[in-house]
Amino acid sequence: MQLFRPIAHCALLGLLSGCAFLHRYQLQSVDGRIQQSSTRRFEFLVSQTGIDLVEGAKWVSVIARDARTQNNANDAATIIALFQMGPRTGNPVYSTRFADELGQKLHHMCKNNEITGLTFTRETNKYPVVSGELVKVAGYCLSSAAPAKRKP
Amino acid sequence: MTRKLFPLLLLAALGASCTHLASVSVTSIPANRGQHVSAERYKFLFLLLNFNNDFVQEMERDLAAKCPKGKVEGIVTKLENITYFPIIAHAYNVTADGYCVAR
Amino acid sequence: MRLLLLLSLVSCASSYHQAAVDTSLNPTNLSGQLIRAQAEQFVFLGFAFDTDYVAAARRDLEALCPKGTISPLMTSYYTDLGFLSWKNHVKLEGVCR
């Protein structure tokens, strides 16, 4: 019975943590040839684990039974928030190099073929405390055999 | 002295507008960078109330009008959030700068 | 000691805002010289009065390829979070041909 309340709090926090968030969406030029059967659609993503230490400290203060631990956890959350100020998109990550390979991956998806209809989305898949910070890329490879449409 | 100075400093800081970059994109930059063209759209927000984003619609036409016989490339697009006074006075500023090159 | 450990963990976090690649001018191959330019803006307590660092990054990139085309071009925008301050970064990478 003593465990019921913190477990219930945890379950509620878990449910209310949310799931997927869309932060940015960019669409580049679209060639009408994507409707042809020789066109191939591709999609890939690059990702990094995001960690919300403030949320983690708040979880500790919820789960903790004694007031001292709760106070310490709340103090830790305040200190962390002071040391992680700035504009946020999703959760903080500890490496910003995960998207550096985007250009290379894009090239390998569509070697020697023209790329069109590129979309870039910045998403977050959120879980309690941790999250997946994603950059998803999708587009179309125009086959070299697909002729460009000419105006009559 | 500090008692009088701190509110003045705070007021001065609040009075100076703050500009933050919300998003940025850069398209491929051409070799010919002779003619520079730009377009800008601005929207003032009172009390952060914003009911539509129509102000950016067809902004590309502004650029195209400055480059009627060519193509605009190497476009840097920025969306800025401007704060004149917290909560009360804000603004969106969208700018697009590029080069007009011959087709 | 615990405080120092905590500070060491929190002080190297970043927030990644967006990444995009443009291939409009030369989409089919990557032959050419890879060039990079980066610009930063330090912001203390949220006081930032312009976004001119973006133009500075673009100028630096163009200076590395004065007579060529830069395509494909990748743009990254992220922020290093810090104590009462942060640093915005715009990184441009492209292939100069």
Stated as kind and residue range, the H or E segment containing A71 is helix A67-83
C25-41: average pLDDT: 82
User: CA A22 to CA A148: how far, in whole Å?
Assistant: 34
A144 phi and psi angles, rounded to 5 deg: -65, -15
| Residue A149 domain flag | no
| Residue A151 domain flag | no
C46-66: average pLDDT: 94
pLDDT at A147 over 50: no
Q: Six-digit token pair at C37? A: 């330019």
Q: What is the pLDDT of residue C16?
A: 94
Q: What is the pLDDT of residue B13?
A: 56
CA distances from A42 to A69, A116, A136, C48, C73 (A): 50, 11, 11, 39, 19
C-alpha gyration radius of chain C: 17
Q: What is the pLDDT of residue A13?
A: 58
A vs B, Cβ pairs < 8 A, gives: 3
Give the predicted TM-score (pTM) of the model. 0.81
Give the ipTM of the model, two decimals please: 0.78
Q: What is the pLDDT of residue A146?
A: 44
Which residue range forms the structural domain that includes residue A52? 4-142
| Residue A147 domain flag | no
A9-15: average pLDDT: 59
Count of structural domains within chain A? 1
Three-state secondary structure readout of A28-63: CCCCHHHHCCCCEEEEEEEEEEEECHHHHHHHHHHH
Which residues on chain A are in Cβ contact (under 8 Å) with B25?
Answer: 26
Q: What is the pLDDT of residue A7?
A: 66
Measured between alpha carbons, how far apart are the two ends of chain C, in Å? 53
Q: What is the pLDDT of residue A148?
A: 45
Percent of chain C with pLDDT over 90: 63
The string of DSSP letters for B34-49 reads -EEEEEEEEEEEETT-
Q: Indicate the pairing of strand A114-126 with strand A20-27.
A: antiparallel
| Residue A137 domain flag | yes
The domain ranges of chain B are: 17-102
Structure-token match 């070799």, residue found: B31
Identify which of B68, C43, C24 has the alpha carbon closest to the alpha carbon of residue A26. C24
Lowest-confidence region among A4-8, A34-38, A121-125, C28-32: A4-8
Which residues on chain C are in Cβ contact (under 8 Å) with A26?
Answer: 18, 20
Interacting residues of A86 by C-beta distance below 8 A, sequence separation 6+: C15, C43, C79, C80, C81, C82, C85, C86
CB-CB contact of B29 with B73 (8 Å): yes
- pLDDT tens for each residue of A21-78: 888 888 887 777 777 778 888 999 999 999 998 889 888 888 888 888 888 888 888 8
User: CA A123 to CA A91: how far, in whole Å?
Assistant: 11
- pLDDT tens for each residue of A75-125: 888 888 888 899 999 999 999 999 888 888 888 888 778 888 888 889 999
- pLDDT tens for each residue of B74-86: 999 999 999 999 8
* pLDDT mean values, one per 10 residues, chain B (103 residues): 62 69 92 92 90 82 87 90 91 92 84
Among the partner-chain residues C12, C19, C24, the one whose CB lies closest to the CB of A94 is: C12
Q: Return residues 18-77 of C near B (CB < 8 Å).
A: 18, 20, 22-26, 46-51, 54-55, 58, 61-62, 65, 67-73, 75, 77
SS3 assignment, position B103: coil
Comparing alpha-carbon positions, the chain C residue that sits nearest to B32 is C67
User: CA B50 to CA C33: how far, in whole Å?
Assistant: 45
Q: Which of C25, C40, C53 to mutate to test the interface with B (most CBs of B within 10 A)?
A: C25
Q: How confident is the model at residue A151 (pLDDT cuts 50, 70, 90)?
A: very low
C59-65: average pLDDT: 96
